[in-house]
Structure 1
Amino acid sequence: MATPDGSWLTALVDWSVSLMEVIGPAGAGLAIALENVFPPLPSEVILPMAGLTASRGTFTLFEALFWTTLGSIVGAFALYGLGRWLGAERLRGLAARIPLLHPEDIDRSVAWFHRHGGKAVFFGRMIPLFRSLISIPAGVTRMPLWKFGILTAAGSLVWNTIFVLAGYLLGEQWHVVEMYADILQYVVIAAVGIGVAWFVWARTRTLLRHKGAGRADASTAAGEEG
C-alpha cells in the first residue's frame, strides 16, 4: 500500500486497516471514536482507509459511513460528558488561577455558546482540531442531549462522507486527499496561533495600563498627603 513518508503514519495506516479487516466496519467506528477523544489521531487518514477497505469489498460503503458516523457520535459524547463534569463554575475557578484569564472570560464564552452553540457544533465537526474540542463547551453549557446528538451526527456525516468517498474512489491513491486536508489544518492552526497571540498581547497591554494608572494614582495621593 502506498503511504506518505513517516513511520508513525505508516503504523497508523497499518493499524487502521488491520482493525477494519479483523472486526469489519465496527473497526472503522472504533478508530474514529478514538480519534474524537484523542485529536492528534488524524481522521483525514482513518476515514479514507475506511473508504479504501470498503472499495475492496470487506464491507459496504453504507457500513463505512454508518459506523464512522456512529464512532464520531460516541467519541463526541465522551468529551461532552467531560464538559458537563467540568461545568462553568469549575472553569471560573480555574480561570481565576491562570495568568491573563478572568472568570468573566468564561461567562462571556458561555453566553456566546448559548447564542451560537448550534452552529458551532455543526460546523465545528468539519474543522480540524475543533472537531473534538467543540464537544467540551457543549457539555459545559449543558446543551440538550438530543440537540447535541443530532447536530454532531449531521456535521460528522458531512465530514466523514467527504473523506470516506475520497478513499473509496481514489483507492490506492487515497493519500492525495491528505495534502488538501493538511492545508486546511495548517490554516486552522495558524488562525488559532494568531488569535492566542492577539489575546495575550491585548490582555498584557491592559494589565500594564492598569498598573501604570495605579502607580500614578499612588504618586498623586502621596503628593497630596505631603
Structure 2
Amino acid sequence: FVLGGRFNEMYYWDTYWIVIGLVACDLEDEAFNLIKSFVNIIESEGFIPNGTRKYYLNRSQPPFFPHMLFYLYENTENQKIRNFILSKGLDAAIEEHRFFMKVKVTGEETENTFNVYKVYSDKPRFESYKDDLKTYKNSNYSKNIYSNIATAAESGWDFSSRWLIDDNLLHTNDIINIVPVDLNAIMLRNEQIIHYFLNI
C-alpha cells in the first residue's frame, strides 16, 4: 500500500495507520501481508527504513512495528496470523529494538538512558537534494546540517518547529541535540509489547 500522490513507495510509520485502517475495514489479510513484508525487511536489513527505496537505508522512522503486531494480534481470530506474530513477528520486533538501542544517550547527572534519533550524513538527501542544498547554504555551511535534516526525516516530524532553534528558519534545525519524549514513550510501549508476547 502506497500513499499516492508523489509517493511511489511504502513509508514506515505511515504503514502503521494503514494497518489500523485495513483491520477496521475487515481486510486483515492485507494488513498481515504488510506485516510479513516488514518482517522480510527486518530480516534483510536489521530494521525498517524510512521508506522502501535503497537511498532510505541510512535512516528509519518512529518504530511502530511492534504496535502493528499488537494491533493485528488483538483484532484477529486467525490462528495462523497469531502464530506468525508470536514467532517471526516477535523475532523481528526484537531485532528492530536492538537497532534502536544502538543510538542512545546517558545524561551526565543521571543514570537513565534515553533513545534519540541520529542519522550521520555529510550530503543532501537523495529525494530532496535541491532543497537540502539550499538549506545548507542558508546555514552558512554548518557541518551538522545534513545530519540534522536526515535525522528530522527519521523522526517523522520533518520539518516541525519542535526541532528548530528559530521557529521560522529550517537551517536552525538542531534535532541531533534533542531527546524526543515521544520516541522514548514509543520505545517503552514497544518493550511492553515484546514482554507481553514473550509471556504468551
TM-score by length of 1: 0.32
Larger CA Rg, structure 1 vs 2: 1
Per residue, is there more helix in 1 or in 2?
1
TM-score by length of 2: 0.35
